[in-house]
Amino acid sequence: MAYLSSFNNYRNTGLLIMRVGLGAMMIYHGYPKLMGGTEMWTGLGGSTKYVGIHFLPVVWGLLAALTETLGGFLIIIGLAFRPVSCLLVIHLIVASLSHFGKGEGLEGAAHAIELAFVFAGLIFIGPGRYSVDKK
């Protein structure tokens, strides 16, 4: 596949495309949760019971909504990329365990698991050249 080897020169462009797409979708899913208020945060934070945390569901729900929304924005611009990716991995692990806990099985948890693997991989790759964190 030598004819595709020229794409190696565009690694940073590929990372930018991934960051913008993933970040935009995290904002798309997180913003309604953030604007949902305490009722939404309580329901969202209640998912922590699947990892053994049974206190302050409103706080955990607000933190989850902030992680998705603000985290998505930070992923797009590439600021604090690795710490935010770590937070998103944790968030997505809790989301997938929540799906399993509700009896939805792998079918319900698949999307959260897939995204957790993507963000886990991005922790090692980094944001690329076209980011605020560029080195």
For residue 86, give the nearest of 55, 123, 58, 54 by alpha carbon: 123
Query: Looking at the domain assignment, is residue 48 inside a domain?
Result: yes
Query: Looking at the domain assignment, is residue 130 inside a domain?
Result: no
Number of separate domains in the chain: 1
Query: Looking at the domain assignment, is residue 4 inside a domain?
Result: no
pLDDT at 135: 60
Domain carrying residue 51: 11-125
Residue 79 exposure: Cα atoms within 13 Å on the Cβ side:
7
Give yes or no for residue 7 having a pLDDT over 80. no
Query: Looking at the domain assignment, is residue 1 inside a domain?
Result: no
Name every residue whose Cβ is closer than 8 Å to that of residue 108 and which is 6 or more positions away in sequence: 99, 100, 102
Write out pLDDT tens, residues 77-116: 999 999 999 999 999 999 999 999 999 999 999 999 999 9
Write out pLDDT tens, residues 56-75: 999 999 999 999 999 999 99
**pTM here?**
0.92
Give yes or no for residue 19 having a pLDDT over 70. yes
